[in-house]
Amino acid sequence: MQQTADIISLLRSQSGKFPNREQLVADYVSAHLEDVTTIALSDLAKNVGVSEPTVIRFCRTLGCDGFRDFKIRLAQNLAVSIQYLTSEDISDDTTAADVLSNHVLGVIIDNLRLLRDQLSSDQIDQAADILVKARQVAFFGVGGGSTTVAFDAANRFFRLGIPAQSQSDGYLQRMLASTFGAEDVIFAISTSGRPTEIIHSAAIARQYGAKVISLTNPDSPLAAESDLVISINMPENPDIYKPTATRHAFLATIDVIATAVARRMPDQAKEKLRRIRSSLLTVNPPTGRQPIGD
């Protein structure tokens, strides 16, 4: 059987397909996931009522090298899965109004209030001072949330007349970083600040003289590899269905920085925004009141 990191899914998909004695092991493991990560081989075999070789065969059926390898993989899988296995569901009688006000909009509002208390005006000013002078800016993100924010950031900045792009592929991040120089800026976005790709890319860019600004956890490896850190550390709500707190905080922070940059170069920003609006007239004629900003 092909090796997999998701032992829990494999246990579920193969349930009923194991040999009889191994199925007993599978049933016990499925019912005692956390306990099994610390149990001894002999104790597991005793609790299930099978021999130790049967337990080892079960582990190998799952693609593991043995019992120790199985426990390591299960523990790793469980570490990221436990909140989804144990979280309480919203009751069936929860109304749409409850979901909107308490589980989505209320959470977003609370997060933005917390962000306002965390954001440093000095950090925003320093970031704006660097970005307003940039020849080009590359926004790097890895993973779903950070990638989305990086794309939105590039979309915000090219409108101000600053050449900007976003990149989420680790190899292309490294390649792009190696072409940057003293007049260029890498803006790295990461909740944890630990993805290897983005840390290495930041180091490469700095090696060639580019500035690195990071929007990340201040105590992370990415922060240590940055010239300027926009420090954000948002607590995540245990409700697994609500929007992630950090994504909204990051998007709002990008808006704050972009506005600060635009106000430092008002003539250029207004002219670029005017041109963009004019370029869309033939495909999107004005039909009423529209936003005058970005």
Look at residue 88 in the predicted model and tell me its pLDDT. Answer: 57
The average pLDDT across 188-215 equals 96
Look at residue 94 in the predicted model and tell me its pLDDT. Answer: 57
* pLDDT above 80: residue 240: no
**What are the E-state strand segments in the chain?**
136-141, 164-167, 184-190, 211-216, 228-231
Can you give the pTM of this predicted structure? Answer: 0.76
pLDDT band of residue 92 (cuts 50, 70, 90) is low
Instruction: Give the integer Cα–Cα distance in Å for 172 and 169.
Output: 5
**What token pair was written down for 32?**
């005692």
Q: Which residues contact 238 (CB under 8 A, 6 or more apart)?
A: 83, 87
Between 186 and 12, the higher pLDDT residue:
186
Q: Return mean pLDDT, the chain.
A: 88
Between 242 and 139, the higher pLDDT residue:
139
The average pLDDT across 59-69 equals 92
Exposed e or buried b per residue across 4-41, where buried means at least 16 C-beta atoms within 10 angstroms of its C-beta: eeebbebbeeeeeebeebbebbbebbeeebeebbebeb
Q: Which residues contact 261 (CB under 8 A, 6 or more apart)?
A: 128, 131, 132, 157, 160, 162, 269
Instruction: Classify residue 210 by burial, with Cβ atoms within 10 Å: 0-12, 13-18, 19+.
Output: buried
Look at residue 1 in the predicted model and tell me its pLDDT. Answer: 45
Instruction: Give the integer Cα–Cα distance in Å for 25 and 13.
Output: 15
Look at residue 119 in the predicted model and tell me its pLDDT. Answer: 93
* pLDDT above 70: residue 199: yes
